[in-house]
Structure 1
C-alpha cells in the first residue's frame, strides 16, 4: 500500500476558490437535472481531483482529514458536485492503495493534473447494489479480459474518463468472488440508458449504462477475486467518511443560511428572534450538527490511525463505527434540513423560488438514507454487534 500522504495545506483554499462556481450553477443544475460540468471543470483546474494522489505522482498528497474538510466546503455550494468529488476520491484511494505500481505510474499523474475523472460501476440489474457480490463475469480471451456490464445507476457515468468496475471473477466463479477492474473510456463501448429525474441530487446525473470492454490483466485492482479486501480497506470507509462529510457540509450551510436570515433586520415579522421556542429549535439543530461532526472526526481518526499503523480495518468494531457514522450522518443531516425549513417557514423555507435554497437542501439530503440504504446497514450492523461481546465503543 502507498501511505506517504502527509497532508495538503492548500486544499481548503483551493476548495474555497471553486466554491463560487458551485453556488452560481447549483440552482440551474438542480432545475435541469444536468451534470455540473462547470463545477467539475473548476475542480479539474484547481488540482483537487488529485487531492488523495501522493505527491511523488504529482498530486496534493492529501489525507482523510483533508478529504473531510474539502468535501464539507464543496457541499456548502452544491451537494451533487461534492458527492461526485467524494466518490471520485474514493476511486482514487483504491488505485493508490491497491493498483500495481506500473498502473499507478501510468494513471495517477493524469488524475493529479485533472485529466481523469473516475466513476464507479458497482450496481447490477441482477444483483442490485450488493457491493460484495457479482453476476457479470470476466471472460479471459486472447486479447485480455472481456467484460460486459449492465448497470442501472452510475453517478456521473456519462462524463467519466475512466471507471472502476466490479465483476464476478470468472464465469465459473461463485458470486462472492468479485474482481475490481479499471476501464479507460477509450477501451470501452459504452451506451447510456434511462434518465435521472430524481427528487434530489439531480446533478449527479446517475443514469444507467451498458459497457463492453477488453482490458489487460494489469488493470485488475487488488487481487483477482479479492475485491472484498479493497472494499473493506478502501471503498467502504472512503464512502462512509466522504458521504458523511458532504451531508454535514450541506446541513451546516442550511443552518448558516438560517442564522443569517434570523439576524437580518429584514427578516419576516413571523420570525421572533426573542422567542424561547425559536432558541430551543436552533439549539436542537446545532446539537445534531455537533454530533455528526464529532462522530465523523472520531471515525476518520480511527481509520487514519489504523492505516498509519498498518492495521486492517476488517474488524467488527471498526465496521460498526463506519456503518453507524453513515447511518447517523444521513439521519441527522436530513433532520437538520427539515428543522431549518420548519423554522424558516412557508415563504422562505418551503418555496422553490426562495432566495435561500432550503427546499433543495431538504430534497438532496433525503437521498442520504437511501444511498446504500440505512435499512441494509442497520441489519448488517446488528449482526456485527452480536459478534462484538466486548461492545467496543469508539
Structure 2
C-alpha cells in the first residue's frame, strides 16, 4: 500500500489522492497530452480536472481546508501525472512548491486567509522569480517592492513566468525596498486581477511546451500585508529549493516511467511473435528497470528527508541538506534522459517514429529540458562552493 493509500484508507471521505491523480492522468491528461505539446498550449482540461478532484489544494493543511499531503505524497501525485503528460505534472509541481512555501513561511492573519481561499476555491499559483539584469541569479532582484501605506506596487521584467496568464495569483520576488541591496528580497503575493502581464516573447520550445512560460513585463499592485514576513533567502533555502527539486524530479520520474512502459510493451509484443525466444531488448529492459528503481528510491528518499525535518522541527537549510537536494536535481535530470534513451534503443525505429504506439519523441524532448530548468552547471558551481566549506557527510 502506498503513502497515499495508507492516508486515505482510514477515512470514508473522498477517493484516495492516488486514485484521484490516476483518474486525472489516465482519463484527461493523457487524452490531450499530444495536442498540448503540438500546440504549446496550456493543459486546461487536466488542470480543470485537478481542480475538480481537489488536488490543487492537497498540499494545504487540513485546518486550512486542504488534505495536508506530505512532500512524499506530492511527489507521488506528480509522478503519476508525469507518466501521462509532463507539462501537467510540471504545472502541478510548480504550483505545489508555492503552496508549501506559503504554508511554512506565511503565518500572518492575511496570509492564512489567503491560503484558506486558495484551498476553498482551488486557486492555481504561479511564481515570478527570474529577472532580466541578474544574470539568471534568482537570489537577486532588480525589481523593488514600493510600499505606500497599505499598498505595494512592483514592476518586474522576467524572461519566464510559467503559466502566468492562467494562474489565479503570482508570487513575485522583489527587493525589500528600493534602497535595499539586490540580495535582500521578499516574496509578494499578487492576485491575478491586480497583475498586468505584457508579453515579451513566445514559448516555442523543444519540450515542456504546455507549461506556457514566455517572458513578461509584470506590473502588479497588492496590499502590504501580502508581503510574506520571512526573507526570501530563508524561504528559498529552507523550502522552495528543496521542494522544487523533489517535485520536479518526480515529474521527470513520471516521464521515465512512461518511456519504460512503452519499452516493456514493445518487448512483450516481440516475445509473443516468437514464443520461447527471449526478445533482443529484454536484457536492456532489465537494466533500465534497475536504473528506474534507483531513480525512484532517490526521489522518495529525498522527499522523506525533507518531511522528517518538518516533523522533527529541524532546520533543512544546512550545507549537507542543500548539497543533497542539489545532487538530487542534477542526478534526476541526467537519469531521465538516460532512461528515455534506453527505451528508444529498445523500441528502435518504432520508438523513433512519431505516428505509432511506441513513439518516444515527446518524452525525449520533455526530458531534455530537465538539465536546463535551472541549469545544472549553475547548480554544480554552487555545490562546488558549498563542498569546500562542508565537513560532514551528505
1:345 and 2:348 aligned = yes
Whether the aligned pair in 1 keeps the contact of 2:147 and 2:224 (CA below 8 Å) is no
Cα drift, residue 351 of structure 1:
1.7
CA deviation profile, 1:30-89 (whole Å, cap 9, x unmatched)? 111111111110111110000110111111111111101101101011000000001000
Matched, 1:126 2:133: yes
Answer yes or no: is 1:194 the counterpart of 2:207: no
The 3-state SS of whatever aligns with 2:154 is strand
1:259 is matched with 264
RMSD: 2.0
SS in 1 for 2:37: helix
Displacement after TM superposition at 1:264 (Å)? 2.0
Q: Structure 1 stretch 241-250 or stretch 132-141: which is displaced more?
A: 132-141
The counterpart of 2:278, out of the listed 264, 274, 279, is 274
Check if 1:286 corresponds to 2:286: no
1:26-41 pair list within 5 angstroms: 26-41=33-48
Q: Determine the C-alpha separation between the residues in 1 that align with 2:22 and 2:110.
A: 32
TM-score, normalised via structure 2 length: 0.92
| 8 A contact 2:266–2:358 mirrored in 1 | no
Q: What displacement does 1:288 show?
A: 1.9
Q: State the distance in 2 between where 1:352 and 1:114 align.
A: 39
Matches of 1:355 and 1:280, distance apart in 2:
22
Partner of 1:322: 325
Report the counterpart of residue 356 of structure 1 in structure 2: 358
Aligned to 1:303: 306
> Which of 21, 44, 49 is equivalent to 1:15?
21
Aligned residue for 2:371, secondary structure, equals: coil
Give the deviation of 1:265 after TM superposition. Answer: 5.7
Name 1:376's counterpart in structure 2: 378
Query: 1:389 Cα shift?
Result: 2.3
Aligned to 2:12: none
Please state whether the residue corresponding to 1:259 is helix, strand or coil.
Answer: helix
1-structure distance, mates of 2:19, 2:208? 25
**Residues 243-271 of structure 1, C-alpha deviations (whole Å, 9 max, x = no match):** 011101110121012111211269789xx
Secondary structure at the residue paired with 1:248? helix
2: CA distance, partners of 1:140 / 1:105: 21
Query: 1:307 Cα shift?
Result: 1.1
Q: Confirm or deny: 8 A CA contact 2:106 2:112 kept in the other structure.
A: no
Worse-superposed segment, 102-111 or 118-127: 102-111
Query: Residue 367 of structure 2 aligns with which residue?
Result: 365
SS of the residue corresponding to residue 290 of structure 1 reads helix
Shift of 1:239: 0.4
Please report the TM-score for the alignment, with normalisation by the length of structure 1.
Answer: 0.92
124-133 vs 53-62, which deviates more?
Answer: 124-133
Q: Which residue of 2 aligns with 1:153?
A: 160
Q: Secondary structure at the match of 1:379?
A: helix
Deviation (angstroms), 1:213: 1.9
Change in 2 beyond 3 A, CA 1:216/1:8? farther
Paired residue for 1:241, among 237, 246, 254?
Answer: 246
CA distance in structure 1 between the aligned counterparts of 2:347 and 2:285, rounded to whole angstroms:
11
**Is the contact made by 1:7 and 1:61 (CA closer than 8 Å) also made in structure 2?**
no
**Quick check: 184-193 or 20-29, which moved more?**
184-193
Inter-partner Cα distance in structure 2 for 1:70 and 1:153 = 25
Say if 1:191 and 1:263 are closer, same or farther in 2 by CA, change over 3 A.
same
Q: Helix, strand or coil: the match of 1:251? A: helix
Point out where structure 2 has 5 or more consecutive residues left out of the alignment: 1-5, 10-15
Matches for 1:163-174 after TM superposition, within 5 Å: 163-174=170-181
Give the structure 2 partner of residue 3 of structure 1: none
C-alpha distance in 2 between matches for 1:370 and 1:273: 42
